[in-house]
């Protein structure tokens, strides 16, 4: 255990686009939109904090890793995720774009970063990061699906 530069970079790269929401909030947010429920929101927050903290202190897990299939998948999923953020910015920060499907993948802006965290857990062989990813997945998917369904009804 100790500070992990690789883990910290993974967390920062995955979460960095979300900071765009501060400067460029979505337009046309449906009125009355709420999350899927307190349990899902708590799981989402615990998962987010867990992923960040565990990656930051996972020196032993990422000290001697080699670039391989799991690292390549992290890179591919993050690249697609960044492409979707570019789409969001270029097309005027439309709320619906945060949830719009990508080919066969529903709510890709929720699925892709969670998968990238999951691949990091596998790559670093981190059981605890895996637990945090499961919490994040349950909460983030539920809240994102709820927002997607709500925005379709508006």
- Rounded Cα–Cα distance for residues 18 and 88 (Å): 11
CB atoms within 10 A of CB 1: 9
What the block records as the tokens of 78 is: 């993050």
Is pLDDT of 118 > 80? yes
Contact present, 109 and 81 (Cβ < 8 Å): yes
Is pLDDT of 152 > 80? no
- Rounded Cα–Cα distance for residues 76 and 111 (Å): 13
Q: How confident is the model at residue 151 (pLDDT cuts 50, 70, 90)?
A: confident
**What are the φ/ψ torsions at residue 4 (nearest 5 degrees)?**
-120, 115
Q: What is the pLDDT of residue 21?
A: 86
pLDDT tens, residue by residue, 2-47: 999 999 999 999 999 988 889 989 998 888 788 889 999 999 999 9
CB atoms within 10 A of CB 152: 10
The dihedral over CA atoms of 48, 32, 150, 131, expressed in degrees to the nearest 10, equals 20
């Amino acid at each position: 255990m100790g500070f992990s530069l690789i883990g910290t970079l993974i967390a920062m790269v995955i979460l960095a686009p979300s900071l765009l929401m501060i400067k460029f909030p979505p337009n046309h947010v449906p009125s009355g939109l709420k999350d899927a429920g307190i349990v899902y929101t708590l799981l989402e927050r615990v998962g987010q904090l867990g992923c960040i903290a565990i990656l930051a202190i996972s020196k032993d897990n990422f000290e001697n890793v080699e670039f391989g299939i799991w690292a390549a998948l992290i890179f591919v999923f993050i690249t697609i995720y960044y492409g979707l953020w570019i789409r969001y910015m270029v097309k005027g920060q439309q709320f619906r774009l945060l949830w719009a499907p990508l080919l066969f993948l529903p709510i890709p802006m929720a699925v892709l970063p969670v998968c990238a965290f999951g691949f990091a857990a596998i790559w670093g062989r981190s059981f605890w990061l895996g637990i945090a990813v499961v919490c994040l997945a349950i909460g983030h998917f539920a809240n994102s699906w709820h927002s997607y369904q709500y925005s379709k009804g508006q």
